[in-house]
Amino acid sequence: MAEQIIDKQCIVCKQTKPLQDFRIRSDSKDGHRNDCCLCENARNLGRYHTPDGKKLAAKRLRKYHQSKKGKLCYKKAKLKYYQTEKGKQHAIKDVRKYQQKHPLYNTMHSTVSRAIRSGKLPPAKTLKCNECKKTARDYHHHLGYARKHWLDVIPVCRLCHVHLHISQREAIVRIESA
């Protein structure tokens, strides 16, 4: 029967410490790291306070946020934040800032919302997307944002709406560069 290890010597500080002072490492013989938590923390602190260490940490964080797990974690944290009082105030501030920056869009959106409430336009969710025929989520102002076209809208799903705006931007860039 294998002998139960209770204490272990750290390879960095050479002190004998209880096994719970060492982090778990499944590929080692005893299932724990060779350096104690204090020595490991000190090494990591020193590493990340150098200019190269800060760049490395930022690179790892960017990579994590681009991963599926990182995006999901960020989304959960964002939702949790916006449920707090501070988060709600932040959201209101962001909406007001956007409305001040884009007053025409805000007025145009209100006009479409009023048309839906009064029955002039059916809700977009009850229609099929004009592009892919899936259930629509939004209305797209395909003729532009001039006042006379505010109610000239087509129902589109979110993905198609984004693609339409991207293709419009690309067309504008091509015209400007020609």
| 2 has pLDDT over 70 | no
| 1 belongs to a structural domain | no
Q: Give the domain range for residue 18.
A: 7-59
6 and 20 in contact (C-beta within 8 Å)? no
| 15 belongs to a structural domain | yes
* Strands 138-140 and 154-156, bridge-based pairing: antiparallel
pTM score, two decimals? 0.46
Mean pLDDT of 124-148: 87
| 103 belongs to a structural domain | no
CB atoms within 10 A of CB 58: 11
| 152 belongs to a structural domain | yes
CATH number of the domain where residue 24 is located: 3.30.60
Q: Which of 44, 59, 74 is the last residue of a domain?
A: 59
Q: How far apart are CA 19 and CA 143, in angstroms?
A: 70
Q: 21: which 2 tokens?
A: 């002072």
- Structure confidence by residue, pLDDT tens digits, 59-112: 988 999 899 999 999 889 988 998 999 999 999 999 899 888 888 888 888 888
| 147 belongs to a structural domain | yes
- Structure confidence by residue, pLDDT tens digits, 9-62: 999 999 999 988 999 988 888 889 999 999 998 888 877 788 888 888 889 889
Q: Which of 40, 59, 78 is the last residue of a domain?
A: 59
- Find the range with the poorest average confidence among 24-28, 48-52, 114-118, 122-126: 48-52
| 22 belongs to a structural domain | yes
- Total structural domains within the chain: 2
Q: 141: which 2 tokens?
A: 């102002």
| 116 belongs to a structural domain | no
